[in-house]
């Protein structure tokens, strides 16, 4: 699944839960929706953290350059296979 679709899906679920929480009248329902929103936001935070970690590996730039500037570790190994 593409990262954009994951972020959009989680964001849409957060917005949907916030709208539902605004329509509820009882505190139990509001608590339920607030826990859902909290969990979705934490999931989005984990995803953003993951994206931040892999952002240093710019895949497009690595294909255009032949020098070793700290790209993906073992990238050459994956393309050529183990040394025999």
Q: Residue 65 is encoded by which pair of tokens?
A: 């350059």
- 57 located within any domain: no
Q: What is the DSSP string of 3-59?
A: HHHHHHHHHHHHHHHHHHHHH--SHHHHHHHHHHHHHHHHHHHHHHHHHHHHTTS-H
Q: How many CB atoms lie within 10 A of CB 12?
A: 11
- 79 located within any domain: no
- 70 located within any domain: no
Structural domain count of the chain: 1
pLDDT at 59: 62
Contact 5, 42 (CB under 8 A): no
- 68 located within any domain: no
Contact 29, 23 (CB under 8 A): no
pLDDT in tens, 24-33: 999 999 999 9
- 76 located within any domain: no
Q: Which domain holds residue 7?
A: 1-48
pLDDT at 48: 86
pLDDT at 71: 56
Tens digit of each residue's pLDDT, the chain (84 residues): 687 788 889 999 999 999 999 999 999 999 999 999 999 999 999 888 888 888 777 665 545 555 555 555 555 545 554 444
- 84 located within any domain: no
């Amino acid at each position: 699944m593409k990262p954009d679709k994951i972020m959009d899906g989680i964001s849409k679920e957060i917005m949907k839960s916030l709208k539902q929480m605004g329509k509820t009248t009882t505190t139990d329902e509001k608590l339920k929706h607030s826990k859902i929103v909290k969990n979705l936001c934490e999931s989005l935070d984990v995803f953003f953290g993951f994206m931040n970690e892999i952002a240093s590996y710019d895949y497009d730039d690595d294909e255009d350059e032949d020098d070793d500037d700290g790209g993906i570790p073992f990238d050459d190994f994956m393309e050529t296979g183990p040394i025999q």
